[in-house]
Structure 1
Amino acid sequence: MLGYGSGRRVEGRGDGAFFTGLPAWVLAFRDRNDEARIVMDLTEAGCVVVCFASKVDALIAATCLRRMGRYCTVLPAGTIPAQQFRDADGRGLVADVHLGWATCGGRLLIRRDGMPARLGRVMHHWAQEPLRFGFDRDILHEMDRLHERAGSFAWRETLQDVSTWDSVRVRRVVDRALGLIEVARAEGSQCGEVALFDPEFEQWHLVPGPGPADV
């Protein structure tokens, strides 16, 4: 993660045609010049915006960063400018989609920058007018497979329910999530476990990951 210290400056407003199906969430912060920036990650496609399908997961990340003295807010991905998702040559749209949290021995791994280590997948589309961008079939299929391993077959419906919760309930669930799992420093090791948090039942599920996580 280039993460908290770097990101693309936010200019303008959202275009309204991004993540209109299953919503996505991003992390934003203020740099030293008090300019708003979006948290990004370094991937094979370059430095791209990190997107969360779960607002609770986004808030878990923000809370871990806050514990390191790094303050982020959570924003709907559909409200930020389309330019944030442009790839390096400007011809495509790209995002690093969060799939789950990297764990080792049942402990959540925390990187040096304060962000929990996570499993992500790059989603890269050609930019065609009118611009549209959202979770594609391959990404949703991979999310389905991970949640099915955890026995969570109605995860999309759960996320829809969470979107109706008030901020007090959401914050309580986030605090509950972090209170239920131990943390450890990520030291470059890669473990095969992925943790998924179920906000409805307020419990973690540990499942085998489909590949190495970003630690």
Structure 2
Amino acid sequence: MKQNDAPNARPCGHILHTDPPLYVLVTYCPQRAQPDFVRASCEAIDETYHGRPGNALTVFLSPFDAYLSAAYISQPGEPYHVVHAARFDPRELIHTNGGKLHISLHCGFGAHDGRLVRRRAGSIVTLSAEQSWDIDSHNVSAVDINLTDHDLKGYQSLRDAAGLFAHAESHAPFLSLPHPARARAVGRAIACMEGTVDLSHKANQCAIYDPEAGAWHFVPIGVFFDAQNEEACPS
């Protein structure tokens, strides 16, 4: 999360602007020349989907989902932190991806008959919608990501199916909590989940947690794929 000192840098110093606001997960990997260097959580993508292999930056609309994901993917000595996307410098990722910025929008958690499906590494299977942008070299220090209603269709359809029509109204109250209170809220979500299952159980539901009600909702996975026209897949 280094300072943006490029000639065409924004006055605010941020490289990445998103509309709507998005959140990413980062873990600190200090280097001698960059003591504040971070690595972001990404999903690997292959050439069958985007024309060439690469890494998609995992992004979240829901800050609560971001904190919950961070709890599952953090390892001893490698904790992940939730930061606003504007604080992340995507230039190295864009360079690695050959001038493209791929994102993987988290839409929900994969579940099988009311239990989250866990990967071998410990993280939870997710349902995500992928997008890709060509970033011109002249604009690499001022990147704008604007998601339309069409881009958010899969995300929104799942919440509508769960009856969470005002889900976005929970974001500000959660972010207003001090960090210990956020951690307790995430702990309650994990505690009230009826365990997890391994990858031998295929995800047949999308799990969404309502932090205001303190309850999990399970939506048939077909709702997501119907909304995405089968263009997105669980990862």
TM-score > 0.5 by shorter chain = yes
Contact 1:28 1:38 in 2 (8 A): yes
Secondary structure of 1:124's aligned partner: strand
Secondary structure of 2:206's aligned partner: strand
List runs of 5+ in structure 2 lacking aligned partners.
5-12, 226-232
* Pairwise CA RMSD: 2.5
Normalising by structure 1, report the TM-score: 0.81
TM-superposed deviation, 1:157 = 2.0
1:42-121 correspondence to structure 2 within 5 Å: 42-43=44-45, 44-45=49-50, 46-66=54-74, 68-69=75-76, 70-83=78-91, 86=94, 88-90=97-99, 92-121=100-129
Secondary structure of 1:137's aligned partner: coil
CA–CA distance in structure 1, aligned partners of residues 63 and 93 of structure 2: 19
**1:188/1:213 CA distance change after superposition, 3 Å:** farther
1:176-201 CA distances to partner (integer Å, 9 max, x unpaired)? Answer: 11011033243254322000011111
**Among the aligned pairs, what percent are the same residue?**
22
TM-superposed deviation, 1:32 = 8.9
Moved more, 120-129 or 204-213: 120-129
Normalising by structure 2, report the TM-score: 0.75
Aligned to 1:135: 147
1:1-215 correspondence to structure 2 within 5 Å: 11-12=2-3, 15=14, 17-19=16-18, 21-31=19-29, 35-43=37-45, 44-45=49-50, 46-66=54-74, 68-69=75-76, 70-83=78-91, 86=94, 88-90=97-99, 92-127=100-135, 129=139, 131-209=143-221, 210-211=224-225, 212-214=233-235
CA–CA distance in structure 2, aligned partners of residues 28 and 204 of structure 1: 26
Higher Rg of the two aligned structures: 2
List runs of 5+ in structure 1 lacking aligned partners.
1-9
